[in-house]
Structure 1
Amino acid sequence: MAVKILTAFDMSIQNNVLGPLPAQSRSDIYGAFKNFDVLKTLGNGHFSVVYSARNRFTGVYVALKKVQLSRMTDSKAIDDCKREINLLQQLNHPNVIKYISHFVEENDLYIVLELASAGDLAKMIKHFHRSNKLMPEKTIWKFFSQICSGLEHMHSKRIMHRDIKPANIFVSAEGVVRLGDLGLGRFFGSKTTSAHSMVGTPYYMSPERIHEHDLGYDFRSDIWSLGCILYEMAALRSPFFGENLNLISLRQKIEALDYTPLPTNFYSSELRLLISKCLVLDPEKRPDIVEVNRIAQMMYGRFSNSNNNDTPTPTPSSRNGSACGNVTPVNNR
C-alpha cells in the first residue's frame, strides 16, 4: 500500500486553505495522484477539470476532480471548495454522488468521487432531441423519482443544492441517477431560515432567487428547479428557454410564468399538474420535497406496473454541452 507524504508546501495549503485532512486520509490508497490511472477528461470548470480515472490498488473507476488552488484569488471560490467537500461528507444516499476522498498535491486539490459512467441528464435530453423523439413518461418518472429521493435526503440533512440542472444530474451505466456538483450547496443551521446569495444557473433559478431585489429564499427554491427539470425531460428544453435572452428578459419570462404547456395527448395530467405545483411564484405555495417525492414514487410505481418496458439504456456521454440555452451561470455571493 502506498503512503501519501505531504510536502511542507502542500501541508501549508492544506491547513490554511482547506483545513487539516482526517488522519486516515494521509495513508489512504485514494489519497495520492500517483495511485490513479487517468483515462479521459469529462468536463472543465473555471478552476477545475474532472477526469475519469482508475485506482491502481482497488481497480475502482472514479471521477477525479482537480481544482487549481493557485489560480484562485477570490476567497469565495476557495469557500466553494470547502463547502463542497463538507457537504459531500455529510451525505450517504444511492441517488447522491458519493464522496470517497480528497488530497492536495502540487498546489492542486483533488476530490475523489463516485463515477457515473453514462454521463449526465443534459446529454441524455440532447440525445432525445436530436433523435426527434420524446422521452417516454415511464423513463421520466424513473429518473425524476431518483432525483427527488436524493434531494429529500439532502433536505433532511438541511442541505440545499441551489444548482439543480440536467448537467448536475449524473447517470450510471445501470440507469441509477445521482445528484452531484455541490459547489453551490448551502447548509442551513437550526437558526437559519433563508439564504440571500444570488448563485446558480439562471434558467433553473426560482423567481425569489433571480429577482433584482434581495427577497431571500429557502429549500422551496430547489422545488422550483425540480419543476424545471421535470418539464425539460418532457419538452426537451427548459420551460423558460428563449433565443438571445439576457438576464433581465429571462427574469421577466420567469416572473410572468411564460412557458408553453405540455401537450395533453402524450403526457399524463399528473405530470403536468406536478410541474404547475412546483412552478408557483409564491414559494410558500409550493409543495415540499417530501410531497414531491411521494408523487414521483407513486407515479413511477404506476408506470412500472404497466408492463411497458420503454426505459432506454443510458448512452455514454461527457459533461460538455447543455440542453438549456446560453445564459451565463450566476455566482454572485
Structure 2
Amino acid sequence: MTQIWEILKSYLSDLWEVIRPFLELVFLVWDQYTDWLPYNHFILLILLAIILGLPIYFLTRKRKAKKTGRLKTGRDLLKEAKWAEKNKEFIRAGELYEMTERFNQAVKMFLQGNSPDRASRVYFERLNDPKSALSVLIENGLWEQAGRLCAKLQDFNLAGEYFEKANKLQSAAEMYEKAEQFAKAGVLFEKTGFIEESANCYGRAGDFKKAGELSERVWKETLREMGKSGSGAVRKKFEDLAKRTSYYFKQSGDLKKSAWVLEQSGIKKYSAELYLLAGDKKKAAELFMEIGEVDRAMELFEQGGDTQKAMELRAQHYLKQNLLKEAAECYEKAGDFLTSADLYLRVGDKKKAGRLYLEGGDSKTAADVFYSAGEYLLSAQAYEAVGNYDMAIQVYERLNDNQKLAQLYEKMGDYYQAGLNYHKIGQSDLALRALSQVSEKSADFITAVQLIGDIYFEKKRFDQALNCYRRVIPKKPFGLDNLELYYRLGLIYEQVGQANYALNFYQQIWHLSPGYQDLGERIKNLHQKISTTAQLAVNPVMAGAGAVAQSGGFRYQMIKELGRGGMGVVYLAKDLNLQRQVALKVLPPEMNRSPEAVKNFIREAQNIAQLNNPYIVTLYDAGEYNQAYYLTMEYVEGENLRELVARWKKVPLSLGIEIFKQLALALDYAHSKRVIHRDIKPSNIMLTETQTIKVMDFGLAALFDEVRTAQTQVSGTPLYMSPEQVQGRPLDHRTDIYSMGIMMYELFTGAPPFPEQGVSYHQVHTPPRPPKELNPEIPDSLSRIILKALAKDPNQRYQNARSIYLDLSQVKER
C-alpha cells in the first residue's frame, strides 16, 4: 500500500496535496466496511480509475458521422464534408466536395491535404482547366504526372521534357519520337539500351552514320541469335535488319560497308550492285559469279583488270562447249598451268603440256610427258628437278651427256661413276676430286684407284700414277685382262729412267700378246739404251751414276731447305733428269767417314725401297756424290701431324680415326716386310690435302742414331718410346704399336700421356690416365684401343697393327 502511495505522489505531486484529504477519507470508510474482503485496496483503486476515466473518455472521443441509409442526400454529403474539413480530414473533405460538385472547394481540400495530383485531376477532368492542372503538378515538382498530362494533351515535346526531368528516359524518348524530335529520341533510346529504336530515330533525324553503327550492333546480335535458333522469324528479322543497316550506311556514303552487310547476310545480288556503285568491280564480279551471273562477272573482271578471273570464266565457258584447246589457252593465261596442261594433253600437244606441268610445279608429270613426247633433255631436267636421279641418269645416258651424268652421280654419292664421267669429258681435276672419295669398302675402289692412276699418267705426274698402280697390282694380277695396266707401268718406269723395270714389264706383256700396241719398238729401243749406258743392272736404285745429270754435274738442284736434324738436312730439290720435285736428304759428314755406316745405309735403303704402300713415302734414289751420301724420296705437300695438333689442339674424332686406320695399314705392311720404324711420332707423319697420310723417315732414325759418335742420346724420341726401347731391351714390331698408342692419346686428348720431365721413368712405371677423362667425347671403344696399345708389357698390347685397324673400323662416333 505504501508503494502505491509513493507512485501516486510521484505522478500527482501538486494535485496530491488537494485530493489527499479526500482520498484518506475514502480509504478510511472503505476499510471499515471491506476490511474482510481480500485485496480490498486493489479493488478500490480500480473503481477510482473507472470513475475518473469515464469523463475523460467521453470528452476526448471523436464522434463518427452517422451512417447513411441506402442513399445520402447532397445536404448530407455537404454536411459530412464540412465536418471532415473542420476535423482537418482534408482528403476526405475533398472527395466529398467533389461528389457534391463543389470542385474548387475540392481542389482546395486536396492541396491542403498535400495531394496535388488529385487537385490536378479535378482541374483537368472536372473543371476542364488543363492549364491549372499542369500548373499544380509543375509547382509541386510532379514531372512524371506532368508528362502524362501533356501526353494526354498531345503536347509530346513538352511531355518529353517533363519525362526527362523525371528521369523517365524511355518515356521521354517515346514522347520525343512522337513529337518528331528524332535526334533527342535517338540519344535517349541509346542511353536506355533500346539500340534498334535509337538507330531508327537517328536515321529519321538524318544522322545515317550513327544510325548505321547502332543498327549494325543489333544486326550482329541477331546474327548470333540466328546461329542459336535459326527459326524463320529470326531469319526474317535478320534480313530486315540487314537491309535497314545497309540502307543507313549507303545513305551515309559508306557504300562498301553497306555492301558488306548485305554480303554477310547472304543478300548477294544487292551487295554486288552496291560494290559496283562503290567502284569495287572485282568484288562485285566475284559476287555476280557466285549467284550465277557469269557474263556480267566476266565483263567486270576484265574492266577491273583481273585478267586471271576473266580468263578462268572464259575457260569454263569454253569447257561447257567442249572447246578444249580454247579452254586450255584461257587457263594458261589465267595462270592455272596444271589445268591447262591437262587439257593440252587431252588434245595431244604433249610438249606444251609438259612445259605447263613444269611451270605449274608438277615436275614428275612433266618429266613423264616430255619422255613420251621424245623431249629427252627436258625430260631429264624435270626428273632431276624432282630428285628422281635414276630416271634422269637413264635419260642423260641416252643423250650421252657425261657432264650431267657426272654431276648427278656425284649428288647421289656414286663417286666412281662421277669420276668416270668427268674423265670422259676431260675434266680431270673434278674426276680426281670425285674418285678420291670412293670408299675403300666400295666394290669400285680398286677400279677407282686405277682410274686415278690413269689420270695422273695422262697429266705426266708419274710418281703419283705409280703409287696408284702399285695399290692396284695386288688385286689385279698380270694377265690378258690387265695388259693395259702393266703396259702403263712399263711406260712410267721408262719415263722415270728405270729402264730395266720397264723392259721387264714389256717382256712379260710380249709373251702374252706379242703384237700389243708398240711393244716391239719399245723393247728394241730399251735394249739399245741399256747396252749403251753405264747403268748397273743389279740395282738401278743404288747406282751412283744416277747422281749425274744428263747435262753433267749433280742430278738434283737444291731449291730450299725443308728441315734439319741429327739425322741430316732435308732439302726441296728438283730432279733435273725427270723434271720433278723430290725431297733430298743429305747425311751428316761424320757418317760419311764410317764405312760401316755407309754399308748399313745402303742395306737399309734397299730394304726401304721394297716398301710399296700408298701410306708410306716412296724412296726414289740413294747414292753418293762427291763423297756425300744422299737419299731422294717422294716430296709430299701438306702438313705433319705435329702441325695438325698445334692447329686443332684436339683432332676431330672422324679425322683422327681415319689417320690412324691408315697408319695401322702402313705399319702392318712394313712389319710384314720385317721392317720396324722405331721412331713413330707426329712430326714423321705427313697428311696430304686429300687426307692421306705418308709415313716419313721409315727405318732410318734408329740406324743413324746407332752410328753417331758425337751423340749419346738414346735412339728415338723419349716421349714416344716404348718401355723396352727406354730400357735398351731387344725390340720387335710391337715397339711401333706402343708409339702409335702415344700418338693416338695425344691427338685425341690434346696432350701426351706423360710429361716430358721424367718421361723415361713414366714410360716404364706409370699407367696412363684414361683418355676419356681428358676428352669425354672419346667413345669407350676408342679409349680401350688406346689403352691396350699403351700396355707396358708387349704381350698385353696389340700383337699386330692390322688388329688395331680392324678395331678402329668398328668405332662409332657419338
Select 1:272's aligned residue among 780, 783, 789.
783
How far apart are residue 283 of structure 1 and its match?
0.7
Q: CA deviation at 1:128?
A: 1.9
Q: In the superposition, relative to structure 1, how do residues 201 and 256 fare at CA in structure 2: closer, same or farther (>3 Å)? A: same
Change (3 A) 1:41 1:280: same
Q: 1:155 aligned to 2:155?
A: no
For the pair 1:238 / 2:752, whether they are aligned, the reply is yes
> Which residue of 223, 229, 242 maps to 2:737?
223
TM-score, normalised by the number of residues in structure 2? 0.30
2:585 equivalent among 65, 69, 73: 65
SS of the equivalent of 2:624 reads strand
Higher strand share: 1
Q: Which residue of 2 aligns with 1:292?
A: 804
Q: What is the RMSD of the two structures over their aligned residues, measured on CA atoms?
A: 3.1
The reply on whether 1:179 has 2:695 as its aligned counterpart is yes
Pairwise CA distance, 1:87: 2.5
SS at match of 1:119: strand
Cα offset for 1:144? 0.8
Q: Deviations over 1:305-325 (max 9, x none)?
A: x9xxxxxxxxxxxxxxxxxxx
Q: CA deviation at 1:137?
A: 0.2
Task: Please name the residue that 1:282 is paired with.
Answer: 793
Q: SS of 1:49's equivalent?
A: strand
Distance 2:603 2:741 in 1: 26
Aligned position for 1:261: 770
User: Which residue identity does 1:85 align to in structure 2?
Assistant: A
2:552 equivalent to 1:41: no
SS at structure 1 position matched to 2:778: coil
How much has 1:96 moved relative to structure 2? 0.8
Residues 185, 235 of structure 1: alpha-carbon distance in 2 compared, 3 angstrom cutoff: same
Structure 1 position 281, deviation (Å): 1.2
Cα deviation, residue 251, structure 1: 2.3
Q: Tell me the CA shift for residue 94 of structure 1.
A: 0.4
CA-CA distance at 1:224 after TM superposition = 0.7
CA contact (8 A) 1:230 1:275 kept: yes
1:252 matched to which residue of 2?
Answer: 761
Distance 1:60 1:297 in 2: 36
1:275-299 CA distance string (max 9 Å, x none): 1101111111111212112123344
Task: Indicate the residue corresponding to 1:164 in structure 2.
Answer: 680
Q: Deviations over 1:247-279 (max 9, x none)?
A: xx2222122334333235211112211111011
1:217: how far off?
Answer: 2.7
Cα–Cα, structure 1 residues 78 and 284, in superposed 2: closer, same or farther, change >3 Å?
Answer: same
CA distance in 2, matches of 1:290, 1:85: 25
Mapping of residues 1-333 of structure 1, within 5 Å? 22-23=539-540, 25=543, 28=546, 32=549, 34-46=554-566, 48-69=568-589, 72-73=592-593, 77-78=597-598, 81-129=601-649, 134-181=650-697, 182-184=699-701, 199-211=715-727, 214-242=728-756, 245=757, 249-262=758-771, 263=774, 265-287=776-798, 288-299=800-811
* Structure 1 residue 141: Cα displacement: 0.8
The answer to whether the 8 A contact 1:102-1:112 is kept is yes
For 1:16, the equivalent position in structure 2 comes to none
Aligned 8 A contact 1:160 1:185 in 2: no
| Residues 726, 760 of structure 2: 8 Å contact kept | yes
**Post-superposition shift, 1:229?**
0.9
User: What CA distance in whole angstroms lies between the structure 2 residues aligned with 1:85 and 1:31?
Assistant: 19
Whole-Å separation in 1 of the counterparts to 2:808 and 2:589: 40
For 2:583, the aligned partner's letter is A
Would you say the 8 A contact 1:227–1:279 is kept in 2?
yes
In structure 2, how many angstroms separate the alpha carbons of the residues matched to 1:198 and 1:171? Answer: 28
Q: 1 CA distance for matches of 2:544 and 2:740? A: 39
Instruction: Measure, in 1, the Cα distance between the counterparts of 2:638 and 2:548.
Output: 25
**2:791 is matched by which residue type in structure 1?**
V
- 1:146-181 deviations in whole A, cap 9, x for unaligned? 111100000111111111111111222322101121
Q: What is the one-letter code of the residue matched to 1:22?
A: N
Number of residue pairs the alignment of both structures matches: 265
Contact 1:62–1:114, Cα closer than 8 Å, also in 2 = yes
Gaps of 5+ in 2: 1-494, 498-536, 704-712
Q: Deviations over 1:84-110 (max 9, x none)?
A: 412211210001111111221111112
Q: 1:123 to 1:147 in 2, by over 3 A?
A: same
* TM-superposed deviation, 1:70: 5.4
2: distance between equivalents of 1:238 and 1:276?
13
SS at match of 1:163: coil
Q: Which is greater in Rg? A: 2
Distance 1:62 1:22, change over 3 A: same
Q: In the alignment, is the contact (CA less than 8 A) between 1:119 and 1:172 conserved in 2?
A: yes
1:209-256 superposed Cα distances (whole Å, 9 cap, x missing partner): 212xx54232211111110011111122321123xx2xxx22221223
Amino acid at match of 2:740: L
AA in 2 matched with 1:174: T
Match of residue 338 from structure 2: none
Report the identity percentage: 25
SS in 1 for 2:630: strand
C-alpha change, 1:84 and 1:169, in structure 2 (3 Å) is farther
Distance 1:74 1:35 in 2: 24
Counterpart contact for 2:544–2:625, Cα < 8 Å: no
Deviates more, 1:266-275 or 1:58-67: 58-67
Verify the 8 A CA contact 1:50 1:66 in the aligned structure 2: yes
Deviation at 1:206, TM superposition (A): 1.1
Comparing both structures, which one devotes a greater share of its residues to helix?
2
Distance verdict in 2 for CA 1:82–1:273, change over 3 Å: same
Offset, 1:54: 2.8
Q: Distance in 1 between matches of 2:696 and 2:596?
A: 20
The 1:253–1:86 alpha-carbon spacing in structure 2 relative to 1, beyond 3 Å, is same
